């Protein structure tokens, strides 16, 4: 049995007031469209078809080869949009799920339930409904006495009596494919708006005396659709709650989930604690037993086990095990801190490897460097890696002691066991076990101490 999903994503999304196509607006780090396609994977067996129109180029570029695209031009309503998939799918699939790309909270299981219901339905299709006090402009479901669906009445044509109906059209349908293509051609043009509404397909079935089944869904949150940025923020909060809940059920502690922002796809091991106001983005993997935050931003990074990251920013960085970072550290792309490294406050590391046990306590910049095991980087040490045109490397050996405020002018090598005096400006390589000092302050003159008044 072949089930194919058709996702309608051609609409303009006028109410978003945005130059970005609505379906590309992100929700917990991934475009709305991504979330719907992920959910549909659970219910569909074939490659999905996405109907594009407004912002077609951008949407197509985003989709790459994850879906087939068909263009709807001009955009004449949801019925007309679904019809565009006919040329690709006619005769190639048994069932077609049609849904809207602006419903990103619908879950895989929900689509699955819809397909299961339709498989048992002798009629041509089933649709998803929800009962809610706040109708949010959704179409209202009219049922016959026997419980089958009679019509969907769009809000703007609904009588005051119909507007009171609490059962709403969510916007997910599962059709028998053969019946669908024929019926889509028969949808009449809406006299008021000049468009073809998919929702009018219900009446076509009813006229032919074919039963339409409703799957009444009990989770209103899942059916939040996005027409404005207010809805977008509501969906974001709902998705965040869902993501955080899943992490907590998997053994991650959160003191305050409401202020913990974790994007879709982030992996976190058990017994890690995520403290408030922490943002974890992108392709990030965090191991077990870590303490992350508060006030931390992590993107596209790897963290091993038993690390501490306090009030810090990491991007494209790696921490191995038992590393402690912060407060107020900045790890940029290519920063790699091996086990037992300590990086204290106000440091910055970029494109550098700090080997096991390196200590870098205060106010340092390390760029394009490798630092050998157990080396101590004194407060205020700077790798002067940039000459205005090019970046140059600094190689520091093991068990080195860099005095406070040392300037390491790259390219530069310091052998194992080397030492630099406080304030040294090192411009030449330093051999193993050698002490270099530079620029000591000299006495210039004797001062007369002013007597304090009173």
In angstroms, the CA 158 to CA 396 distance is: 75
- Tokens 């969907």 — which residue? 152
Residue 169 engages ligand UD1 in binding (rule: CB under 6 A): yes
Nearest Cα to Cα of residue 307 among 294, 293, 289: 289
Q: Among 5, 29, 62, 102, indicate the residue that binds ligand UD1 (CB under 6 A).
A: 102
CB under 5 A: which stretch of 95-103, 278-286, 323-331, 396-404 binds Ca ion?
95-103
Instruction: Select 199 or 385, whichever has its Cβ closest to ligand UD1.
Output: 199
CA angle 60, 65, 71 (to 5 degrees): 35
Nearest alpha carbon to residue 79 among 175, 157, 209:
175
Note whether 11 binds ligand UD1 by CB under 6 A.
Answer: yes
Binders of ligand UD1 among residues 316 to 375 (CB under 6 A) are none
Instruction: State the Rg of the chain over Cα.
Output: 31
Q: Which of 29, 48, 225, 417 is the binder for Ca ion (CB under 5 A)?
A: 225
Nearer to ligand UD1, 106 or 274 (CB): 106
- The partner in contact with residue 123, picked from ligand UD1, Ca ion, none with C-beta cut-offs of 5 to 8 angstroms by kind, is none
With CB under 6 A as the contact rule, the residue among 31, 139, 326, 417 that binds ligand UD1 is 139
Is 152 a binder of ligand UD1 (CB under 6 A)? yes
* Dist CA 121 CA 116 (whole Å): 9
> Which residues within the stretch 219-258 sit at the binding site for ligand UD1 (CB under 6 A)?
225, 227
The encoded tokens of residue 216 equal 């009444």
By beta-carbon proximity to ligand UD1, the closer residue of 193 and 245 is 193
At closest approach, how far in Å is the CB of 4 from Ca ion? Answer: 22
CA 22 to chain centre: 16
User: So which residues are the catalytic ones?
Assistant: 362
CB of 202 to ligand UD1, least distance (A): 10
* 154 is a contact residue toward Ca ion (CB under 5 A): no
Q: How many residues at the interface with ligand UD1, by CB under 6 A?
A: 30
Q: CB under 6 A: which stretch of 173-181, 192-200, 202-210, 234-242 binds ligand UD1? A: 192-200
Q: Closest approach of Cβ 190 to ligand UD1, in Å?
A: 8
Among 142, 149, 197, residue whose Cα is nearest residue 164: 142
**What is the distance between the alpha carbons of residues 413 and 428, in angstroms, rounded to a whole number?**
8
Which is nearer to Ca ion, 98 or 369 (by Cβ)? 98
The residue to which tokens 């080997």 are assigned: 355
Binding positions for ligand UD1, 18-77, rule CB under 6 A = 51, 53, 72, 75-77
- Stretch touching ligand UD1 by CB under 6 A, among 96-104, 246-254, 290-298, 407-415: 96-104
Determine, following the binding rule CB under 5 A, whether residue 102 of this chain makes contact with Ca ion.
Answer: yes
Q: How many helices (H) and strands (E) does the chain have?
A: 9, 41
Question: Residue 35 has which token pair?
Answer: 């979330």
Nearer to Ca ion, 235 or 319 (CB): 235
Please report how close the Cβ of residue 177 comes to Ca ion at its closest, in angstroms. 24
Q: Where are the beta strands (DSSP E) in 101-166?
A: 125-131, 140-143, 149-153
Q: In the range 194-213, which residues lie near ligand UD1 by CB under 6 A?
A: 197-199
Q: Check binding of 348 to Ca ion (CB under 5 A).
A: no
Site string for Ca ion, 226-255 (x = CB under 5 A): -x----------------------------
Which residues contact residue 235 at a Cβ distance below 8 angstroms, ignoring those fewer than 6 apart? 27, 104, 105, 224, 226
Nearer to Ca ion, 117 or 227 (CB): 227
Is 139 a binding residue for Ca ion by CB under 5 A? The answer is no
3-state helix, strand, coil in the chain (%, to 5): 20, 30, 45
Minimum distance, C-beta of residue 216 to ligand UD1, in the bound complex (Å): 14
Three-state DSSP class for 217? Answer: strand
DSSP β-ladder status, 125-131 and 167-176: antiparallel
Of these partners, ligand UD1, Ca ion, none, which one is at the site of residue 99 (CB under 5 to 8 Å by kind)? none
Q: Residue 37 in contact with residue 7, Cβ under 8 Å?
A: yes
In whole angstroms, what is the distance from residue 343 CA to residue 7 CA? 48
Copy the structure tokens of residue 312. 């810090």
Stretch that binds Ca ion, among 224-232, 337-345, 411-419, 423-431 (CB under 5 A): 224-232
Strands 167-176 and 95-100, sheet pairing: antiparallel
What are the distances in angstroms from CA 338 to CA 141, 342, 437? Answer: 60, 10, 29
Q: Which residues 6+ apart lie within 8 Å of 225 measured at CB?
A: 100, 102, 103, 136, 138, 170, 171, 231
Identify what 394 binds: ligand UD1, Ca ion, none; CB under 5 to 8 Å per kind: none
Give me the residues that bind Ca ion (CB under 5 A), please.
102, 225, 227
Where do contacts with ligand UD1 occur on this chain (CB under 6 A)? 8-11, 51, 53, 72, 75-78, 80-81, 100-103, 138-139, 152, 154, 168-171, 197-199, 225, 227
């Amino acid at each position: 049995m072949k089930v194919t999903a058709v996702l309608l994503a051609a609409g303009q999304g006028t109410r978003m007031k945005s130059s970005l196509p609505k379906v590309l607006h992100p929700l917990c780090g991934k475009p709305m469209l991504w979330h719907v396609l992920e959910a549909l994977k659970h219910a569909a067996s074939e490659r999905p078809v996405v109907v594009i129109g407004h912002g077609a180029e951008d949407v197509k570029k985003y989709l790459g080869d994850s879906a087939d695209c068909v263009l709807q031009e001009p955009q004449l309503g949801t019925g007309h949009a679904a019809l565009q998939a006919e040329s690709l799918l006619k005769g190639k699939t048994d069932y077609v799920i049609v849904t809207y790309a602006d419903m990103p909270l619908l879950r895989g299981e929900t689509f699955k339930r819809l397909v299961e219901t339709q498989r048992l339905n002798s009629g041509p299709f089933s649709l998803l409904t929800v009962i809610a006090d706040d109708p949010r402009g959704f179409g209202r479901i009219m049922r016959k006495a026997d419980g089958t669906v009679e019509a969907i009445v769009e809000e703007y044509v609904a009588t005051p009596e119909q507007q009171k109906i609490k059962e709403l059209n969510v916007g997910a349908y599962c059709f028998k494919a053969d019946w669908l293509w024929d019926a889509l051609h028969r949808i009449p043009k809406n006299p008021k708006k000049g468009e073809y509404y998919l929702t009018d397909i219900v009446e076509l079935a009813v006229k032919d005396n074919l039963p339409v089944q409703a799957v009444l869904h009990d989770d209103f949150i899942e059916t939040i659709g996005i027409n404005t940025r207010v809805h977008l923020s509501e969906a974001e909060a709902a998705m965040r709650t869902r993501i955080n809940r899943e992490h907590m059920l998997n053994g991650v502690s959160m003191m305050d989930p409401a202020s913990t922002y974790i994007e879709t796809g982030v992996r976190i091991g058990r017994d890690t604690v995520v403290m408030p106001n922490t943002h974890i983005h992108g392709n990030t993997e965090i191991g077990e037993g870590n303490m992350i935050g508060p006030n931390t931003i992590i993107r596209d990074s790897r963290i091993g086990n038993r690390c501490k990251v306090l009030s810090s920013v990491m991007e494209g960085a790696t921490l191995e095990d038992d590393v402690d970072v912060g407060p107020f550290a900045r790890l940029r792309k290519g920063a790699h801190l091996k086990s037992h490294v300590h990086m204290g406050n106000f440091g910055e590391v970029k494109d550098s490897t700090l080997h096991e046990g390196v200590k870098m306590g205060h106010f340092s910049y390390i760029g394009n460097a490798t630092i050998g095991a157990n080396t101590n980087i004194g407060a205020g040490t700077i790798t002067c890696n940039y000459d205005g045109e090019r970046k140059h490397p600094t190689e520091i050996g093991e068990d080195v002691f860099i005095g406070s405020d040392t300037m390491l002018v790259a390219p530069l090598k310091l052998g194992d066991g080397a030492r630099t005096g406080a304030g040294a400006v090192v411009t030449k390589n330093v051999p193993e076990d050698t002490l270099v000092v530079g620029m000591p302050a000299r006495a210039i003159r004797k001062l007369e101490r002013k007597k304090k008044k009173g």
